[in-house]
Structure 1
């Protein structure tokens, strides 16, 4: 079975899919066309659900074969994905039981997503956007950010210093080797910060994905990019931090062995 999920940014598409993955009894696949080169949701789902098969853009052709199997494939469509452009792909799958789900805020009605969906699931109440929202993405793979600078940047970003931000999320690598997922939706008081279940990276620059996605109006994209660049650590600083962390972890291991 194929389940295509669409809706406004911040309405809860990925959260709803994660809830379904947590209770799935059969094999599950996940595909999010248009995610490259900043596959934030794919990376988070791969870390949280290692048994879920993640399909890349190059593996889209597998959808037809998967549709006939005793499994479920979730296709998450970002708000920037034109429903008309993806419909030819979905129409081919109609003979194999495809279900269209729209996650929509209760305060918003009669949109193209409502007309497209066979089921509308009430999502998070988000503030209506004045003007056409922009999407800005930045890949940060290989970069490690200073935690204090990142906190200041995130606060400024979500409080409107770089434009009217409706939704932003990102995966950031910190100097202690951990990776965190940051999530903000306008109208919800607090951001959420989640550590990804991935190994600590303490050998130079991380060889795994990190990046950020911002949705908003009148975004100062150059300022966002420059401030993020200023948050990134140099090779020498990274090496120093990582050496300190490795020594600290070694002391903890010795204490545990003695105990």
Structure 2
């Protein structure tokens, strides 16, 4: 119980699992959250993570009551975390002309945005009283500029960046850190569905190592890898008259139910 504790959502695959393993190797106890809990248990066993070092919480991040209950359960079973990583997210292409894709957008925001705030909510008061703790929001470079066919995802990640920036100002007087990590392309089951080039693609364990170091250093905002940060800044600087035709023909993210 003396070891620090990290609470991670979306821990059944990809970035969530890679971060969990990195924190574990650094001596942290783990509170792992996902809808698919069986995958977490088998993964933890395969990685040799000792059974007394982790707890698994079943929750749907898109349902505020579900993820907030998991946070409260974590406090009761393992104590107040030192680090909370709101990592769970979804990424689906959308076409505003398609009625069903409006529901896709609503689900994206429910998971990526409302779900993030609901993930943090159970821990904020305790961290403020303790005057210590770190809240980590996983954004994306896709939140820096809108991409055709990615309206739901880009908008949700732009909102993540702004939300974490607002929260950072609120928490600063109380000694609670808020860290925004914006990944570029990371090799995960999510990105393997993409139908376009992914420059500077990183392995999940490499990303997790850099993200852990940024969190431990108390970084406020970090794009990983840094090369994607430079690309994003350049795109942000482009005038709309240049940006719009440049991106117009770019392959789009696959929509839900669309043929590969």
Where on the TM-score scale, by shorter chain, does this alignment land: which range? 0.3 to 0.5
Larger-Rg structure: 1
TM-score (norm 2): 0.39
Larger relative helix fraction: 2
